[in-house]
Structure formats: structure tokens, C-alpha cells
Amino acid sequence: MPLRPGRCYRRFDTPPYTRLEYIKSIPPVTIPKFDLGNPKGDFDCTLKLVTLKAGQIRQNALEAARQMANKYLSSKLGEQNYFLRISVFPHHILRENKMMAMAGADRLQDGMRLSFGTPIGRAARVDAGQVVMLVRVKSNNLEHAKEALRRAASKLSLPCRIVVETGGKVSEEGAR
């Protein structure tokens, strides 16, 4: 079975590695904006992208989902007709114990001795039922917002569900 990318960092079973004062080379957060669109708009529908399982979402997957949803919403609705928010922050620092793959590598490296690893990226740890993205639109633009969240869910490594709240009613739809 071939190794799938991101497989090592999908689930978490160790304590979070977040104490930045002890980490020498901190990877920067690559998500430039967490709030997009019109935050002061008068919207009556709220759509939430909710995870079904607990796990980790790498920051490059969050950024890809943000770009996908924002590009779709801005092209279909315009910048003033929606509000998009990324609700999670990548606090957890990911580490990798790099291994050499060449002739004579067994004489050059230590293998698993002192294998703490060097920082390579960040991830957001989410629980089952936690909101990852939130979109607010008017009720006539509901289908465009559902499609934007469906496209964003395809970029994430965890299965997600779209929850729609209009007025006082709540309904759920499968995204992936």
C-alpha cells in the first residue's frame, strides 16, 4: 500500500507541541486572513463546515480551503454579499525526523536515536463536531454558499458536514 501524503499528521495521540518559547525555528502561519468578505453585512443565513471526526488539519490544507471558498464566493456573489471566517487556528507545531535515502546512509545518521525531529509546519487540532469554517449570506444566495463549503471540504483531510442555520431552523447536509 503506498504511503498517502498527510497520513502521519491526520490523527493525534500525543500532547500538543505549542510552547513557542522553547522552539528555536518556529514555522510562520501561512494563512494571511481569517475573516473575508463583509463582516458588517446584514445576513440572515449562517452555514458552518463541521468536522465529523477528531484530527489535525495542516495549515496548507486550511489555506487551500480558504482560497477555494473565497474565490468561488467572490466570483458568484461579490465581495460585499458574504462573510467568511476560518474558525480554527494552527497552534500545533509539526515535527519530522528526516531520514537520508542514499548509499551509505546507515553510517551517516543515527536512525531513531535522539529522534525528536525538527519543526516543519503547523496544524490545527479539531474535535468531532467543531466548526472549521463559517459563511454568512442572505437566503437567496444559500446554494452558492453550500457549493463554496462543499469545495472547501474537499481540501480538508477530515470528513465534514455542512450545517445550515436560517432564522431558528437548523438543517444538516453531507459535504464529503
Number of domains in the chain: 1
- Round the CA-based radius of gyration of the chain to a whole number and report it: 19
Q: Which domain holds residue 165?
A: 1-10+29-90+120-176
Question: For residue 56, what is the enclosing H or E element?
Answer: strand 55-58
- In the structure grid, which three cell numbers stand for residue 106, read together? 546507515
In a domain, 112, yes or no: no
pLDDT attached to residue 10? 66
Domain assignment present for 68: yes
Element (H, E) at 105: helix 105-108
Predicted structure pTM score:
0.83
pLDDT of residue 1: 45
Instruction: Decide: 57 and 26 in contact? Cβ < 8 Å.
Output: no
Is residue 103 situated within a structural domain? no
Classify residue 102: in a domain, yes or no. no
Q: Report pLDDT for 112.
A: 76
pLDDT for res 164: 93
For the chain, which residues score pLDDT lower than 70?
1-11, 100-111, 114, 168, 170-171, 174-176
Question: What is the domain-level CATH number for residue 81?
Answer: 3.90.1170.10
Backbone angles phi, psi at 63, to 5 degrees: -65, -40
> What pLDDT is recorded for position 96?
81
Per the domain annotation, does 158 fall within a domain?
Answer: yes
Residues linked to residue 36 through DSSP beta bridges, in sequence order: 84
Q: Is 149 part of any domain?
A: yes
